[in-house]
Structure 1
């Protein structure tokens, strides 16, 4: 083989080797580019069932409001003034305002009015860092501003298949006088006004003194003896399913 042919053969061989290495490198880069970043594993959830039972004779409850909130806040404070969302719920049964309240992470509503003697269950899926503070609220709709519920309960220590039970008295939001007068009660006993921004009562949350009714001598009352209630007015059970 001549020297020129040998040199040409060596150049061709070197070029083929370089081209092969470049091709392998390019394939490797393309493979890296096409690889997708793996998604993080889903956060495991803890499943709960919250069951609310209406114990009264003739006090329908507004749709249950189940609230998940920060551990450093409470839905209400006995002896303290009601927040605007609490005032609205206690006077009209509307819990929507809690969704926009600072410190509230989530609001879940029940299906509708909870009639006397009936119960409703709501199921929740919560991550482990969402179980520190749960509250339940509802209005006794045949009153001016009575409400009941569960205030800031932690589910951290509730084991799988375990159930914890609570009872709730009726509270007075202290935002509307308990006149029982026609046009002031939103429930079926009157179908009157709901929320009114004017506060004409003691402006502090306290245990509700109960209704008087026309049958017991309050002549202007639209309520009857059937609307009276004893405490507790609710039972609330929380079961951890998983």
Structure 2
């Protein structure tokens, strides 16, 4: 009888003790809560910026709006290979819209107007894309059938921030339109003729340009004069990495 009553007494005594232990355990958990660290903000993307300055060294050849493009290791043209339609449109009519819209172009910019002989202009192109590893520049000599100049596939790793490099550029023939110099075929102010023509009637290969003949030198049907002739180099190009 005493043993049975003792068991009941001990059981009743244990219940408040267990509750006390449970409450104490809960309080211990709250005191040991560890705050989660705040994630560090993602770093701002690196900006790459290049200033391209072009000087027209010719006597009578305005240059079409300068095209500047950042891209991968592609080339806008290659000597001995056919010109793309985008390059053809620039070389025949000074229209750079399709060149700027080419699929592999990462970032681009264009001057607003023509660059007159003896003048200079600058264009800046900027990107945060690490795919922009190369740079190209292109322009048309507008008092010609399909002469253009520029530089393509320049590897940008050679330029540190605030570093500049200068080139003196020759003139190329797109090989898409015969150099007749005839009335109606020159888009520049010497003729105000037709620009791009879909039919290709020349060698269909990019090559060094042979130069303008002009009516003063015996090409009787030419609308050009000696003032429109050009010697190589015809353009001074300076590229500066600013960021």
Q: Same fold (TM over 0.5)?
A: yes
- The corresponding residue for 1:117 is 118
CA contact (8 A) 1:131 1:156 kept: no
Cα deviation, residue 154, structure 1: 1.2
Distance in 1 of aligned mates of 2:127 and 2:193: 38
Distance 1:112 1:220 in 2: 29
* Structure 1 residues 104 and 46: alpha-carbon distance in aligned structure 2, compared to 1, 3 A threshold: closer
Name 1:40's counterpart in structure 2. 42
Match of 1:53 in 2: 55
Q: Report if the CA contact (8 A) 1:145-1:178 is conserved.
A: yes
TM-superposed deviation, 1:113? 0.2
Matched with 2:210 is 209
Find out whether 1:178 has 2:179 as its counterpart.
yes
Find the counterpart in structure 2 of residue 96 from structure 1.
97
Contact 2:135 2:155 in 1 (8 A): yes
CA distance in 1, matches of 2:103, 2:124: 24
Contact 1:61 1:115 in 2 (8 A): yes
CA gap 1:204/1:49 in 2 versus in 1, 3 angstroms: same
Q: CA deviation at 1:100?
A: 3.1
- Match of 2:89, SS state, is helix
- Given that 2:107 and 2:125 are in contact with CA atoms closer than 8 Å, whether structure 1 keeps it comes out as no
Structure 2 residues without counterparts, runs of 5 or longer: 1-35
State the superposition RMSD in angstroms.
3.0
Q: Which residue of 1 aligns with 2:226?
A: 225
| CA deviation profile, 1:160-212 (whole Å, cap 9, x unmatched) | 22211112100000000000000000000000000000000000000000010
Checking the alignment, whether the CA contact within 8 Å between 2:67 and 2:109 is kept in structure 1 is yes
Alpha-carbon shift at residue 140 of structure 1 (Å):
0.2
Pick aligned residue for 1:63 from 54, 65, 74: 65
Give the secondary-structure state (helix, strand or coil) at the position aligned to 1:137.
strand
Alpha-carbon distance between aligned partners in 1 of 2:132 and 2:238, rounded to the nearest angstrom: 15
CA–CA distance in structure 1, aligned partners of residues 72 and 132 of structure 2: 10
The question of whether the paired residues in 2 share the 8 Å contact of 1:131 and 1:154 is answered with no
- TM-score, length basis structure 2: 0.82
C-alpha distance in 1, partners of 2:156/2:41? 29
Q: Give the conservation status (yes or no) of the 8 Å contact 1:68–1:104.
A: yes
Contact 2:160 2:241 (C-alpha < 8 Å) held by counterparts: yes
Query: Following the alignment from structure 2 to structure 1, what is the Cα–Cα distance between the partners of residues 54 and 182?
Result: 29
Gaps of 5+ in 1: 1-31
SS of 1:231's partner is: coil
Q: How far apart in 2 are the matches of 1:39 and 1:85?
A: 42
SS at 1:204 equivalent: coil
